[in-house]
Amino acid sequence: MSADTLHAPADLEVLFAGQRSAFAAAPMPSEEDRVRWLDALRDVLVSNQPALIEAIAADFGQRSADETLLAEIMPSLHGIRYACRHLRRWMKPSRRRVGLAFQPASARVIYQPLGVVGIIVPWNYPLYLAIGPLIGALAAGNRVMLKMSESTPATGQLLKALLTQIFPENQVAVVLGDVEVGQAFARLPFDHLLFTGSTLIGREVMRAAAENLTPVTLELGGKSPAIVSASVPLADAAERIAFGKCMNAGQTCVAPDYVLVPRERVEGFVAAYREAVQRLYPSLADNPDYTAIINARQQARLQDYLDDARGKGAHVMPLFAEAQQRRMPHCLLLNTSDDMRVMQEEIFGPLLPIVPYGDLDEALAYINTRPRPLALYYFGYDRNEQQHVLQTTHSGGVCLNDTLLHVAQDDLPFGGIGPSGMGHYHGHEGFLTFSKAKGVFIKQRFNAARLIYPPYGKWWQKLIYALFIR
């Protein structure tokens, strides 16, 4: 990233003022305007797929082109299509009931844009986690400022160039810069701020936003568990967990963070999981399907987790013998304990602890005594057990007999709970997050409410009390 393209903290005030002024001049964009914005966004993504794949690969050192297509470009395009298809219904004012005591009158809720929305984008999915919230913000009629991660400079530069082609800066602005710029960005008086990233940084973002009473949506992470039931075929569970854990080399906020397996099935699961991973990725060296760890700092963090776990008695089982640059071998960890960092912090990489359990209630108790996760995965075909898991756990989202794919469902809200985040977006929920649902009470010439105006004590007021206060 060249220095002349980076923003300084002072630049952000100018960008923000320009967007605030532009919004004041057009505070309620039409449906046609919003669809036109989304169509332009779709067209620029479709036309520049090879460049986007190349930029993301450059930032990672090695990023599977198919993973970029499947996990970034495809859901972005689907999200745009879904929003365009449903936008008219979302924008339509909703009629609400007026109680008999307040007639004649009517009530409705109208959905207004908030104004200027800030979006802080992480490095792990730098395209989708920029475009996904951008879709909701534009569909709701807002102006948007995107702060891209300094860890993905090539993607940030390219996305800035592409969005500049279709949007003026007072409509959509892409901000590039370091940590200091990111801190200044979070301090701007946005009408809404969405942050995706770690729980640690999420606290700092929320603290900065609080100075302006800026409402926030925090998409964080945490330790998302996968439960293997006592009866599910191990090959089924192992393959689907392997897909979710290996995608983007585990650098996914909803990746399975650890697996709870019945004690008597641990050995069988390990064998099935090893077979599944090695079938999906026959080797690491020069394998275009296997993504690298984003940078040396993240790789060192993961290596520290492994060293700490080994030192405290864990059995580390690499599933590949070789490594190449930052293509870190996938490892299973057995005999883990709660004092290990790998069991305390979100892993965000290709390390998978296996935690034995006795019965299902023991597994659920293990989950429920820990911070609420962003995702929970259960593998088992017994419908009663599925309902038991759903009713006795809390998490941002759930997949039954799959991983990750709930995030790609446009008609499902996405968001965390507690330490894994607050608020949600995607689809209709995204439109609502970035809108003000304004209640409107409407009267015309006749005013029956005069009956309850002072002075009090009249006979008809006593009748009204007798009729309506009971």
Q: What's the CATH number where 247 sits? A: 3.40.309.10
Q: What CATH number has the domain bearing residue 102?
A: 3.40.605.10
Q: Does residue 451 form part of some domain?
A: no
| Residues 207 and 241 placed together within one structural domain of the fold | no
The 10 Å Cβ neighbour count of residue 425 is 22
- Spatial strand order of the sheet with 421-422 comes to 172-175, 143-147, 116-120, 192-196, 216-219, 421-422
Contacts of 412 by beta carbon, 8 Å cutoff, 6+ apart? 397, 406, 426, 427
What is the distance between the alpha carbons of residues 187 and 33, in angstroms, rounded to a whole number? 30
Alpha-carbon gap, residue 178 to 8, rounded angstroms = 9
Do both 138 and 72 map to the same domain?
A: yes
The answer to whether position 110 is within a domain reads yes
Same domain, 113 and 148: yes
pLDDT at 1: 43
Long-range contacts of 294-297 (CB under 8 A, 24+ apart): 294/59, 294/60, 294/61, 294/123, 294/124, 294/151, 294/152, 294/251, 294/326, 295/61, 295/151, 295/326, 296/326
- Measured from the Cβ of residue 73, the count of other Cβ atoms closer than 10 Å reads 20
In a domain, 329, yes or no: yes
Contacts of 238 (CB under 8 A, 6+ apart): 269, 272, 273, 275, 276
The torsion of the CA quartet 260, 266, 272, 274, rounded to 10 degrees, works out to 90
CB 97 within 8 A of CB 394: no
| Number of domains into which the chain is organized | 2
Longest dimension (CA), the chain: 90
Query: Cβ–Cβ contacts within 10 Å for residue 385, how many?
Result: 18
Partnered with residue 400 across adjacent β-strands are 378
- What lies within 8 Å, CB to CB, of 111 at 6+ separation is 90, 91, 93, 140, 431, 432, 435, 436, 437, 438
Residue 364 lies in a domain: yes
Query: 180: domain range?
Result: 3-220+421-437
DSSP state of 7: P
Residue 345 and residue 371 in one domain: yes
Last residue of a domain, one of 415, 445, 462: 415
Q: Give residue-wise pLDDT tens across range 369-386.
A: 999 999 999 999 999 999
Indicate the pairing of strand 315-318 with strand 331-334: antiparallel
Same domain membership, residue 339 and residue 205: no
pLDDT, tens digit, 9 for 90 and up, residues 59-80: 999 999 999 999 999 999 999 9
pLDDT digits (tens), the chain, 470 positions: 444 577 888 889 999 999 999 999 999 999 999 999 999 999 999 999 999 999 999 999 999 999 999 999 999 999 999 999 999 999 999 999 999 889 999 999 999 999 999 999 999 999 999 999 999 999 999 999 999 999 999 999 999 999 999 999 999 999 999 999 999 999 999 999 999 999 999 999 999 999 999 999 999 989 999 999 999 999 999 999 999 999 999 999 999 999 999 999 999 999 999 999 999 999 888 889 999 999 999 999 999 999 999 999 999 999 987 667 788 889 999 999 999 999 999 999 999 999 999 999 999 999 999 999 999 999 999 999 999 999 999 999 999 999 999 999 999 999 999 999 999 999 999 999 999 999 999 999 998 888 888 999 988 888 888 888 88
Report how far residue 320's alpha carbon sits from residue 322's, in angstroms, rounded to the nearest whole number.
6
**Residue 208: CB partners within 8 Å, gap ≥ 6?**
183, 186, 187
242 and 181 inside one domain: no
Quick one: 214 and 241 in the same domain? Answer: no
- Do 192 and 121 share a structural domain? yes
- Helix, strand, coil percentages (3-state) for the chain, rounded to 5, are 50, 15, 35
| The pair of three-digit structure tokens given for residue 106, joined into one six-digit string | 């009517």
Kind and range of the H or E element at 176? none
Match 């007072």 to its residue by tokens: 170
> Does residue 468 fall inside a structural domain?
no
- Tell whether 213 is covered by a domain: yes
Peptide bond just before 282 cis, omega within 30 deg: no
In whole angstroms, give the CA distance from residue 56 to residue 182: 20
Q: Does some domain include residue 465?
A: no
- CA pseudo-torsion sign 369, 122, 242, 415: positive
Same domain, residue pair 290 and 305: yes
Q: Is the same domain home to 208 and 241?
A: no
Give yes or no: residues 266 and 372 share one domain.
Answer: yes
Cite the active site residues. Answer: 219, 253
Same domain flag for 33 and 155:
yes
What is the pTM for the complete model shown?
0.94
| 3-class state of residue 147 by DSSP | strand
